[in-house]
Amino acid sequence: MAISRILHMNSHHRSKGSHLQVAIDYILKDEKTMNGLLTGSVNCIKENAYECMKETKRLYGKMDKRQGYHLIISFEENECDGDIAMKVIEEFVHEYLESDYEVVYAVHTNTDHIHGHIIWNSVRFTDGYKYHYKKGDWEKDIQPRIDRICEKYNLSTLEKSIKKTDKKEWDVLKNGPFIWNEQIKQDIDACVLRASDYSMFLQMLEAEGYEIKQGKYLAVKPPGMERFRRTKTLGQGYGIDELKERIVKENLNTYRSNQVVRAPKIRMFKSKKVRKTRMT
């Protein structure tokens, strides 16, 4: 079963596309994608995807406001491997986005729940129109597409799973950590890079639509999530003291200096033989 969640990235008041740039770099990390094997792109080069998207925005004079969209597709634990998850992601991208948008996608296998990330430009490269998400699109189009593709690969679907579970179990499933943790960490990382101090960091999270509870622990709730989540449960580097230390040490300049432009390597090409030998 694959559950999807669509989110958007707005323009930042200091650097319009910084959230989009950080998100792209995050989903392509080698340690999450089997050394880059489980990554891909359409209508752009993945190593230079942000620049391609920015140029499309510049060409059509649409540099402001919403910068891009991020779809997270989370698979049920132990239901599929990275290879099958990649096929589902690629087919969805081909059907839904390939004709009009620059897209980067990846499958992360570093957690118990394998999950895929799809990021696309808010501006269509074909005619300059912006992607328009209408209320009800997820229920009527996006999730049904994913369900149909999952059935093709003998995976269970969300619709059938809802019928088999009670409301309490469904609430846990819908709000589970494998749905939200990656997105919360990504947003926190982007705010850490921009904030000059902890107070500004909290203000930036609130500007992104987060609700915040402060006390012994910092707890946050992004738009659309029903419950607060303590940041310390996200892993190393997300406790209050750790965040304050990161805010002092990390900024966009040091982040960019650490991004190494990697020359294309043979391992980035799709080879069934190579990929199968790396599967567990």
Segment 204-238, tens digit of pLDDT: 788 777 888 888 889 998 876 778 888 988 888 89
Q: In 10 A of CB 232, how many CB atoms?
A: 18
Q: What is the pTM of this model?
A: 0.65
Locate 71 and state its tokens: 């779809």
pLDDT at 260: 47
The CA angle 25-130-261, to the nearest 5 degrees, is: 20
pLDDT of residue 12: 63
Q: Which H or E run includes 257?
A: helix 252-258
**How many whole angstroms separate alpha carbon 101 and alpha carbon 96?**
9
pLDDT attached to residue 137: 84
Residues 6 or more apart whose CB falls under 8 angstroms from that of 147 comprise 2, 157, 158, 159
DSSP secondary structure of 131-155? P-PPTTHIIIIIHHHHHHHHHHTT-
Q: What is the pLDDT of residue 128?
A: 93
Task: Out of 3.40.50.740, 3.30.930.30, 3.40.50.720, 3.90.1150.10, select the CATH number for domain 1-174.
Answer: 3.30.930.30
Please, which residues bridge with residue 3 across strands?
74
Spell out, as residue ranges, where the chain has pLDDT lower than 50. Answer: 161-178, 260-277
Q: Are 57 and 94 in contact (CB under 8 A)?
A: no
Of 37, 42, 47, which is closest to residue 82 (Cα–Cα)? 37
DSSP 8-class letter at 197 = S
266 CB-near residues (< 8 Å, 6+ apart): none
Which part of the chain is CATH 3.30.930.30? 1-174
Helices (H), 80-227: 82-96, 137, 143-152, 158-164, 167-174, 177-194, 198-207
pLDDT at residue 279, rounded to an integer: 52
CA–CA distance, 187 with 169 (Å, rounded to integer): 27
3-state secondary structure of 6: strand
Note the pLDDT of residue 41: 95
**Tokens encoding 53:** 């998207």
Token reading at 58: 């510049």
